[in-house]
Amino acid sequence: MAILVFVETAEGKVKKTSLEAVAYAKAMGDSVTAIALGDADKGDLGALGKIGAQKVLHADDKKLNEGNILAYAEVLIKALEDEKADILVLANSSLGTPVAARVAARIGASLASNVVEAPNTSSGFVVKKSIYTGKAFAYVELKNPKKVIALKKNAAEVKESGSDVTVTPYAVSVPDTAFKVKITSSEKATGEILLPEANIVVSGGRGMKGPEHWGMLEELAKTLHAATGCSKPVSDMGWRPHHEHVGQTGVKVAPQLYIAIGISGAIQHLAGVNSSKCIVVINKDAEAPFFKAADYGIVGDAFEIIPKLSEAIKAAK
């Protein structure tokens, strides 16, 4: 059973969630080929050998520098064929998920997205996926010989062993029809830790009172190498950009640590954070519902606690 892993990059660097995808494939045993499309750091790609890729392909074509979904699907369909791979593994993302779906539909594969742990193959091939926005799980059997698996963050642990592999150039010829959707421009935060990738998230709610107070929250995030998030009203009011809004209708995060400051903990917000390993809640109201979903809590004023917390973390380093 050969497995192909689609590896995504951000600013050329392999994304953390893609490292997890390689580790996930490696845990399934058989031969693992990773493939990256467009601009990518060669050193990063070679290092995929350390976490389980036996072979790394790089389709380094300018036309693939933008994440064009139809074109990416074409390349992956061809690569699955060339590598005689029956299974495609990738990370859920705004690029990975639609590509997974199009590939699966084309090659007649069983598809599962939001997969949270290694498959159970004791009888059939069963994956566990997150449903009802993190409020439940389903065990789904993938019955077709071909399978496409899209992973939620933290589905596998990345462990290094072995050594780098050489990166093999992978030549592609993508038909013009695959560029029917033209990407005319994009706006992307640069140099920031992306929210869906982050191991630690510092999130602020309406209790932060206004955008002018985000400086201290960003300072805390910086100390922790964390991404910043927010509640929905905060992005609705334009205090923070929409892509930072966490919850049922926003980004679903699954960090090691989620720190919620001045967020009441409405069920729609919790839906986006309930896969976090550890939750810290800071709120001036001891009755805030978020405390029920927290591992650690502090009742107090955000504006006093945030600077103290930044100091304490710096001191502990």
Partner 1 sequence: MKILVCITHVPDTTSKINFKDNNTKFDPTGVQFIIGPYDDYALARAIEIKESTPGTTVTVLNVGLAETEPTIRKALAIGADDAIRVNADPTDSFFVASQIAEQAKAGGYELILMGRESIDYNSGVVHSIVGEMLGIPSVSPVMKLELSGNTAKLAREIEGGKEYLEVSLPFVAGCQEPIAEWKIPNMRGIMSARTKPLKVVEPKSVNSGVATQKYELPKPKGSVKMISADNVKELVNLLKNEAKVL
Ligand X SMILES: Cc1cc2nc3c(=O)[nH]c(=O)nc-3n(C[C@H](O)[C@H](O)[C@H](O)COP(=O)(O)OP(=O)(O)OC[C@H]3O[C@@H](n4cnc5c(N)ncnc54)[C@H](O)[C@@H]3O)c2cc1C
Q: Please check whether residue 56 is in contact with residue 150, taking contact to mean a CB–CB distance below 8 angstroms.
A: no
CB of 71 to partner 1, least distance (A): 11
Report if residue 182 touches partner 1, rule: CB under 8 A.
yes
**Nearest partner of 10 among 169, 289, 198, judged by Cα:** 198
> Using the 8-state DSSP alphabet, how is residue 117 labeled?
S
CB of 277 to partner 1, least distance (A): 6
By a kind-dependent CB cut-off of 5 to 8 A, residue 158 interacts, out of partner 1, ligand X, none, with: none
CB of 219 to partner 1, least distance (A): 15
CB of 136 to partner 1, least distance (A): 5
Tokens for 313? 């973390």
By a kind-dependent CB cut-off of 5 to 8 A, residue 205 interacts, out of partner 1, ligand X, none, with: ligand X
By a kind-dependent CB cut-off of 5 to 8 A, residue 166 interacts, out of partner 1, ligand X, none, with: none
- Stretch of 78-86, 166-174, 212-220, 267-275 lying at the interface with partner 1 (CB under 8 A): 267-275
Give burial (CB, 10 Å; 0-12/13-18/19+) of 173. Answer: exposed
Report if residue 294 touches partner 1, rule: CB under 8 A.
yes
Give burial (CB, 10 Å; 0-12/13-18/19+) of 284. Answer: middle
- Stretch of 46-54, 133-141, 159-167, 211-219 lying at the interface with partner 1 (CB under 8 A): 133-141
CA distance 174 to 163: 32
CA atoms within 13 A on the CB side of 192: 14
Residue from 105, 159, 166, 218 binding partner 1 (CB under 8 A)? 105
Report if residue 159 touches partner 1, rule: CB under 8 A.
no
**Nearest partner of 280 among 270, 300, 263, 294, judged by Cα:** 294
